Amino acid sequence: MNPVPTLFPVILSGGSGTRLWPLSRESYPKQFHALVGERTMLQDTALRLAGLPNVPLAPAPMVVCNTEHRFMAAEQLRAVGLAQPTIVLEPAGRNTAPALALAALLAQQDGADPVLLVMPSDHVMADRDAFHQAVACAYAQAAQGAMLTFGVVPTRAETGYGYIHTGAERAPGVMAVLGFAEKPDAATAAAYLAGGQHLWNSGLFMVRASVWLKALGAFRPDILQACRLSVDNAQRDLDFVRPHVPAFEACPSDSIDYAVMERLPQQPALGIATGVVPLNAGWSDLGAWDALWQALPHDGAGNALRGDTLALDCADSLLMSSGRLVAGVGLRGLVVIETPDAVLVAPQDRVQEVKQLVGQLKQSGRQLTDTHRKVHRPWGWYDSIDAGGRFQVKRIVVKPGASLSLQMHHHRAEHWIVVSGTAEVTNGDKTFLLAEDQSTYIPLGHTHRLRNPGKLPLELVEVQSGSYLGEDDIVRFDDTYGRVAG
């Protein structure tokens, strides 16, 4: 092994964050939102290692994410100066063990064997210096062939996390792993807290690429074989790596914990040491609205307020507005979350049940679990601001230099009115410019395209009319972003 391997961050960004509905949805999950600061959670995770002392760090991370989120991930990373990350697109959700296998196989393609630091994209780490110290402790061991996890020093008897049972210190800052425990009941969690030998399981890991593949091959050769086949037949598309779809879809689903980490201490003959690094860095997985309330600053009455909010005689409550004023009077321990198309109100001690609420919405066939009223696209975004039986009105914003696909519709006509910026319009066999306050009409069946040739965002209002207004009524002839539909 190279005695001084590079530390290569691997960010797992495949979650949907259903317990943070209605803000987090399948097409725009919580890691792409700015929940505790100005940057999104993905951006914070990607920048978390900046300034890490005395450890050779790769210039950009690898992100493993859902295919549908690829442009959001690329754009958010570009916005914070990470222009050339490796973005691996999972054809299907198969949990964290296959995701790490993809990352390890790709990291070795140039003959390197880096130390991989596996980080979920939706965690908070309030104390960066403390996190850096923990990473440095783990790196010293991982570089020599050990597999490390990070255990959060518990601050309360939490029943929503798994736990790691720790033993004696086996290296500076690294404890032995005696076992793992599932989410406990309240009495067991209290005993864990009092005993001082249990840490919360954070879901962060560190291991060399070759060591992970060796361990996975020993315990789950079926996962390794499927992932190796999918990487061997992968394709590169723009800035993305696309593993072979049939091979990856045939891969079993399993987590890093279950597939490997929990088995390693019982298999010393494999020659892979394990350890856990205690982490006291203000960690939170923001798994539900009460966790976000804990992570945010509070006023004198214990309220956390985000957006346009007003609290009168409220205490220990979370009020969050995406646009409209959210006003509370006399609230105690409540969560109130406003989005343009849904409002959630719940006691803090029942926010875990939001997942069940999302399940009911899915069963009823409502799209509120999947998409927001405001929908992000690689060229910008649109907001469906009104709709009726045969019409729909959208506010559309196109980024400078960006272009929608060359397309046509079978069932609707469109009228575009430019509000600000300059639009380059292709309408049938004509291409022309529109300035502010100018408009054009796209008849049903006409080939058309919208482009922003300027240096400022293009904003327009689109009025659609016709017998069917669904997003699947798009026939694409050419697309900068390689999309086929949607």
For residue 74, the model assigns a pLDDT of: 92
For residue 486, the model assigns a pLDDT of: 41
For residue 228, the model assigns a pLDDT of: 97
Bond preceding residue 120 cis, omega within 30 of 0 = no
For residue 314, the model assigns a pLDDT of: 98
* E-strand stretches of 280-359: 283-284, 304-306, 309-312, 318-321, 326-329, 334-339, 342-347
Strand partners, 25: 28
DSSP label at residue 385 = E
Contact call for residues 309 and 321 (beta carbons, < 8 A): yes
pLDDT digits (tens, 9 = 90+) for 115-157: 999 999 999 999 999 999 999 999 999 999 999 999 999 999 9
The single residue listed with the structure tokens 């659609």 is 464
Question: Is pLDDT of 262 > 60?
Answer: yes
pLDDT digits (tens, 9 = 90+) for 414-438: 999 999 999 999 999 999 999 999 9
pLDDT digits (tens, 9 = 90+) for 444-459: 999 999 999 999 999 9
Alpha helices per DSSP H over 376-472: none
Q: How many CA atoms lie within 13 A of 324 on its CB side?
A: 11
Task: Give me the mean pLDDT over the 199-218 stretch.
Answer: 97
Rounded to whole angstroms, the Cα distance separating 228 from 96 reads 15
Rounded to whole angstroms, the Cα distance separating 403 from 425 reads 10
Q: Which of residues 159 and 338 earns the better pLDDT score? A: 338
398 Rama class: left (phi>0) / alpha (psi -120 to 50) / beta: beta
Contact call for residues 70 and 89 (beta carbons, < 8 A): yes
Contact call for residues 392 and 469 (beta carbons, < 8 A): yes
Alpha helices per DSSP H over 172-260: 186-195, 209-219, 221-232, 245-249, 256
> What are the angstrom distances between the C-alpha of 52 and each of 47, 56, 139?
10, 9, 11
For residue 346, the model assigns a pLDDT of: 98
The single residue listed with the structure tokens 């442009």 is 71
Please report the sign of the dihedral spanned by the C-alpha atoms of residue 66, residue 61, residue 235, residue 98. Answer: negative
Contact call for residues 251 and 98 (beta carbons, < 8 A): yes
Q: Which of 148, 126, 123 is nearest to 137 (CA)?
A: 148
Question: Is pLDDT of 40 > 70?
Answer: yes
For residue 484, the model assigns a pLDDT of: 59
> What are the angstrom distances between the C-alpha of 81 and each of 77, 116, 409, 411?
7, 21, 38, 42
Query: From the centroid of its chain, how far is CA 177?
Result: 29
| Mean pLDDT computed over every residue of the chain | 94
Contact call for residues 461 and 421 (beta carbons, < 8 A): no
For residue 58, the model assigns a pLDDT of: 93
Question: What Rg value do the Cα atoms of the chain yield, rounded?
Answer: 25
Which residues, including other chains, have CB under 8 Å from residue 14's CB and lie 6 or more apart? Answer: 64, 65, 66, 90, 93, 99
Q: How confident is the model at residue 46 (pLDDT cuts 50, 70, 90)?
A: very high
Rounded to whole angstroms, the Cα distance separating 155 from 148 reads 22
pTM here is 0.89
As separate numbers, helices (DSSP H) first and strands (DSSP E) second, the chain gives 11, 30
Q: How confident is the model at residue 366 (pLDDT cuts 50, 70, 90)?
A: confident
pLDDT digits (tens, 9 = 90+) for 8-21: 999 999 887 889 99
Query: In the chain, how long is the greatest CA-to-CA distance?
Result: 76
pLDDT digits (tens, 9 = 90+) for 90-101: 988 999 999 999
Rounded to whole angstroms, the Cα distance separating 191 from 428 reads 72
Task: Give me the mean pLDDT over the 67-95 stretch.
Answer: 91
**List of domains in the chain:** 7-284 (3.90.550.10), 289-363 (no CATH), 374-478 (2.60.120.10)
Task: Give me the mean pLDDT over the 192-207 stretch.
Answer: 95
Burial of 346 (0-12, 13-18, 19+ CB in 10 A): buried
Q: How confident is the model at residue 160 (pLDDT cuts 50, 70, 90)?
A: confident
Task: Give me the mean pLDDT over the 399-410 stretch.
Answer: 95
Contact call for residues 415 and 446 (beta carbons, < 8 A): no
Share of the chain above pLDDT 70, in %: 99
Task: Give me the mean pLDDT over the 46-54 stretch.
Answer: 94
> What are the angstrom distances between the C-alpha of 411 and each of 43, 390, 417, 444, 483?
40, 10, 20, 7, 21
